Structure 1
Amino acid sequence: MARIPREKIDEIRQSVDIVDVISQYISLNKKGSGYMAICPFHDDHDPSLSVSQSKQIYKCFVCGNGGNVFTFLQEYLHISYLEAVKMVAEMGHVDMGGYVFEKKEAPIKQELKPLYEMHTEAEKIYSYYLHTKAGTLAKDYLHQRGFDEQLIKTFEIGYAPERGVLHSAFEKLGYSEIDMVKSGLIIESKGHYDRFKDRIMFPLHDENGRIIGFSGRIYKNGAEGAKYMNSPESDIFIKGQILYNYHRCREMVKKEGFVYINEGFMDVIAMTRANHGNCIALMGTALTKGHLRMLGRLTHSIVVCLDGDAPGQAASAKTAQFLSENGFDVQIVTLPEGRDPDEIFTSEGQDGLDEALGRRQTYLEFLIKYESSRLDLANYNDRRTLLDRITKEIAKLNDKPGQDHFIKVLSDLSQFPENTIRELMAEHKSEEVPVVDFGDIVTKVKDTRRILDKYNQAERNLLFYMLNDKAVSDKYEQKVGFMYNDTYRVLASYVVDYYRNHAIMDEADLMDRIGHDQERLIHTLAAIATLQLPLPYDEKAIDDYIHIISQNALKMKKEQLKEQFHYVLDPKQKAEILKEMINLDK
Structure 2
Amino acid sequence: MYYPEELIEEIRVQNDIIDVIGSHVQLTKKGSRHFGLCPFHNEKTPSFSVSDDKQMYYCFGCGAGGNVYTFVMEYENFTFTEAVKYLADKVHITLPTVELSDDMKKQMDLKHQLIDINKAAARYFYYQLQTEQGKAALKYLEKRGITADIQKKFGLGYANIFRNDLYRYLSEKYDQKVLSQSGLIIPEKKKPGEFFDRFWNRVMYPIFDVHNRVIGFGGRVLGDASPKYLNSPETKLFDKRRHLYGLNLARIARKDCIIIVEGYMDVIALYQAGITHVVASLGTAFTIEQASLLKRYTNQVIIAYDSDAAGVKAALRAIPLLKAQDMSVRVLRIDDYKDPDEYIKHKGSEAFVKLLEKATPSFMFQVEEIAGKYNLDDPDNRTSFQKDVALKILELESEIERDNYLEAIAKKYNTNQQHLESLVAETGKNTGIVSSRNKIKNTINEKQKRKKQSEDGIILAQKNILTLVANNYDMYKIVKKYLDISDFLDDIYRKVAEEIYGAYESHEKIEQAALINKFMELEHQTKVASLFNAKVSFDNNIQLEKILNDSIKLIKSANIDAKSRVVGDISALQKLILAKRELQGLHISLKDG
TM-score normalized by structure 2?
0.54
Provide the residue aligned with 2:59 in structure 1.
84
Local SS of the residue matching 2:372: helix
Structure 2 letter corresponding to 1:251: I
Structure 2 letter corresponding to 1:206: D
Decide whether aligned partners of structure 1 residues 413 and 176 sit closer, same or farther in structure 2, where only a CA change above 3 A counts: farther
Q: Do residues 149 (structure 1) and 152 (structure 2) align?
A: no
Provide the residue aligned with 1:247 in structure 2.
248
Decide whether aligned partners of structure 1 residues 100 and 86 sit closer, same or farther in structure 2, where only a CA change above 3 A counts: farther
d(CA) in 1 for partners of 2:227 and 2:322? 31
d(CA) in 1 for partners of 2:124 and 2:17? 43
Deviations 1:487-520 (A, max 9, x none): xxxxxxxxxxxxxxxxxxxxxxxxxxxx974999
d(CA) in 1 for partners of 2:246 and 2:400? 34
Which one of the candidate residues 179, 193, 197 is aligned to 2:200? 197
Local SS of the residue matching 1:283: coil
Provide the residue aligned with 2:422 in structure 1.
420
d(CA) in 2 for partners of 1:280 and 1:11? 38
Determine if contact 2:393/2:402 at 8 Å carries over to the other structure.
no
Determine if contact 1:411/1:417 at 8 Å carries over to the other structure.
no
Structure 2 letter corresponding to 1:102: F
Which one of the candidate residues 377, 385, 388 is aligned to 1:385? 388
Deviations 1:144-165 (A, max 9, x none): 2212211111111111111132
Provide the residue aligned with 1:273 in structure 2.
272
1:183-262 equivalences under 5 Å are 183-189=182-188, 190=191, 191-220=194-223, 223-252=224-253, 254=254, 256-262=255-261
Determine if contact 1:376/1:383 at 8 Å carries over to the other structure.
no
Deviations 1:298-357 (A, max 9, x none): 211111111111111121122122212321111110122671112223344435544544
Provide the residue aligned with 2:536 in structure 1.
522
User: Aligned-pair distance for 1:271?
Assistant: 0.9
Which structure 2 segments of 5+ residues have no match? 1-12, 19-28, 50-55, 81-107, 439-481, 483-528, 544-593
Decide whether aligned partners of structure 1 residues 89 and 137 sit closer, same or farther in structure 2, where only a CA change above 3 A counts: closer
Decide whether aligned partners of structure 1 residues 407 and 144 sit closer, same or farther in structure 2, where only a CA change above 3 A counts: closer
User: Alignment identity in percent?
Assistant: 24
d(CA) in 2 for partners of 1:257 and 1:12? 27
The count of corresponding residues between Structure 1 and Structure 2 is 376
d(CA) in 2 for partners of 1:357 and 1:104? 35
1:501-516 equivalences under 5 Å are none
Structure 2 letter corresponding to 1:172: E
Structure 2 letter corresponding to 1:417: H
User: Aligned-pair distance for 1:525?
Assistant: 5.6
User: Aligned-pair distance for 1:391?
Assistant: 3.4
TM-score normalized by structure 1?
0.55
Provide the residue aligned with 2:407 in structure 1.
405
Decide whether aligned partners of structure 1 residues 406 and 392 sit closer, same or farther in structure 2, where only a CA change above 3 A counts: farther
Deviations 1:517-537 (A, max 9, x none): 4999836669x99xxxxxxxx
Determine if contact 2:334/2:343 at 8 Å carries over to the other structure.
no
Local SS of the residue matching 1:364: helix
Provide the residue aligned with 2:290 in structure 1.
291
Structure 2 letter corresponding to 1:194: D
d(CA) in 2 for partners of 1:141 and 1:155? 16
Provide the residue aligned with 1:489 in structure 2.
none
Decide whether aligned partners of structure 1 residues 100 and 193 sit closer, same or farther in structure 2, where only a CA change above 3 A counts: closer
Structure 2 letter corresponding to 1:84: C
Determine if contact 1:199/1:218 at 8 Å carries over to the other structure.
yes
User: Aligned-pair distance for 1:270?
Assistant: 1.2
Local SS of the residue matching 1:392: coil
Provide the residue aligned with 1:335 in structure 2.
334
Deviations 1:390-415 (A, max 9, x none): 3323x526468724523634884599
Q: Do residues 102 (structure 1) and 71 (structure 2) align?
A: yes
User: Aligned-pair distance for 1:99?
Assistant: 9.4
Larger Rg: 1
1:117-128 equivalences under 5 Å are 117-128=116-127
Determine if contact 1:204/1:213 at 8 Å carries over to the other structure.
yes
Determine if contact 1:138/1:159 at 8 Å carries over to the other structure.
yes
Determine if contact 1:206/1:247 at 8 Å carries over to the other structure.
yes
Structure 2 letter corresponding to 1:387: A
Which structure 1 segments of 5+ residues have no match? 26-68, 72-80, 91-97, 434-485, 487-514, 530-586
1:1-150 equivalences under 5 Å are 82-85=57-60, 102=71, 110-150=109-149
Deviations 1:37-72 (A, max 9, x none): xxxxxxxxxxxxxxxxxxxxxxxxxxxxxxxx999x
d(CA) in 1 for partners of 2:434 and 2:137? 61
Decide whether aligned partners of structure 1 residues 237 and 86 sit closer, same or farther in structure 2, where only a CA change above 3 A counts: closer
Decide whether aligned partners of structure 1 residues 516 and 192 sit closer, same or farther in structure 2, where only a CA change above 3 A counts: closer
Provide the residue aligned with 1:168 in structure 2.
168
Decide whether aligned partners of structure 1 residues 265 and 275 sit closer, same or farther in structure 2, where only a CA change above 3 A counts: same
Structure 2 letter corresponding to 1:159: Y
d(CA) in 1 for partners of 2:152 and 2:415? 51
d(CA) in 2 for partners of 1:132 and 1:165? 14
Instruction: Give me the CA root mean square deviation.
Output: 4.5
Decide whether aligned partners of structure 1 residues 14 and 403 sit closer, same or farther in structure 2, where only a CA change above 3 A counts: farther
d(CA) in 2 for partners of 1:523 and 1:124? 48
Decide whether aligned partners of structure 1 residues 241 and 89 sit closer, same or farther in structure 2, where only a CA change above 3 A counts: closer
User: Aligned-pair distance for 1:168?
Assistant: 1.0
d(CA) in 1 for partners of 2:341 and 2:279? 14
Decide whether aligned partners of structure 1 residues 103 and 421 sit closer, same or farther in structure 2, where only a CA change above 3 A counts: farther
Structure 1 letter corresponding to 2:365: F
Decide whether aligned partners of structure 1 residues 257 and 358 sit closer, same or farther in structure 2, where only a CA change above 3 A counts: closer
1:552-567 equivalences under 5 Å are none
d(CA) in 1 for partners of 2:48 and 2:140? 50
Determine if contact 2:207/2:214 at 8 Å carries over to the other structure.
yes
User: Aligned-pair distance for 1:293?
Assistant: 3.3
Local SS of the residue matching 1:330: strand
Determine if contact 1:271/1:341 at 8 Å carries over to the other structure.
yes
